[in-house]
Amino acid sequence: MAVATEVRFHVLAVDDSIIDRKLIERLLKTSSFQVTAVDSGSKALEFLGLCEGLKSPPSAPTYQNETDVNLVITDYCMPGMTGYDLLRKIKESSALKDLPVVIMSSENVPSRINRCLEEGAEEFLLKPVKLSDMNKLMPRILKGKSKENQQENINVNGFCESCSTIKSYNTIVNMNSKPNGTNISGNKRKAMEGGLSPERRKQRLSSSN
C-alpha cells in the first residue's frame, strides 16, 4: 500500500544576525517548513541561481528543482545588499518574479514598510518574529504556487494554439499544391498521343472515321 508523503514547503531565510537567523530557522522548522538559512542577500541570489547583474537565471530557476524554494523571508537591514535590494532583484527576474518574499525588521518605519509592499513584498514582519507569524506564510506560498500554475497553463495553451495554427497552415498549403486531376489525365493523354508513330496515328484516324 502506497504511503502518502507529507508536502513540506521550502523557505529560504536570509539574515546577517546569527541569533535572528537561528530563531527564524527554529520557528520555521517548528511550523513544518523545510529551511535553508544564509547570511547575506548575495548568497540568497546565488542559491536561487540568480547572479548579480542578471535578470534571469541561466537555466530553469533553482526553486523548481530538488531544492524547491517556495518563499524567501529576509531581514531588511543587512550590510552590502539590504532586504529591499534582494526583493527588487527577485521581482526584476522574469523567472523568479512570482516567488513570494517576506521582509522582517526590528524598526517600525511606515515609509520603509510601504516601499517594500509597493515593490512586491507579501508581508512585513516586525522583530522579534513569533511563532504566530509563521501562520501568515502558508497563504502566501499557496498564492505564489497558484500564480506559477497559471503561468504554466498560459505557456501550454499558447504552445497548443501555435501547433494548431501551423497544422492548419500546412493543410491549406497541401490542398493548394495538389494538381488538378483533370489536367493530369489530359496531360497524360497528350503525352501518349505524342508518342505514337505516324502509321499508328493514321490507323487511329482511319478507325475513328
Percent of the chain, pLDDT > 90? 54
- Please tell me which residue, 146 or 73, carries the higher pLDDT value: 73
- Rounded Cα distance, 107 and 60, in Å: 36
Paired residues of 73 in beta bridges: 13, 102
pLDDT of residue 194: 54
Closest among 56, 58, 9, 59 to 35, alpha carbons compared: 9
Query: pLDDT digits over 2-57, tens only?
Result: 444 567 899 999 999 999 999 999 999 999 999 999 999 999 999 999 875 544 45
* 177 or 182, which is more confident: 177
**This prediction's pTM:** 0.66
CB 86 within 8 A of CB 14: yes
Architecture category of domain 10-153 in CATH: 3-Layer(aba) Sandwich (3.40)
Q: Identify which of 77, 81, 142 has the alpha carbon closest to the alpha carbon of residue 103.
A: 77
Q: Where are the domains of the chain?
A: 10-153
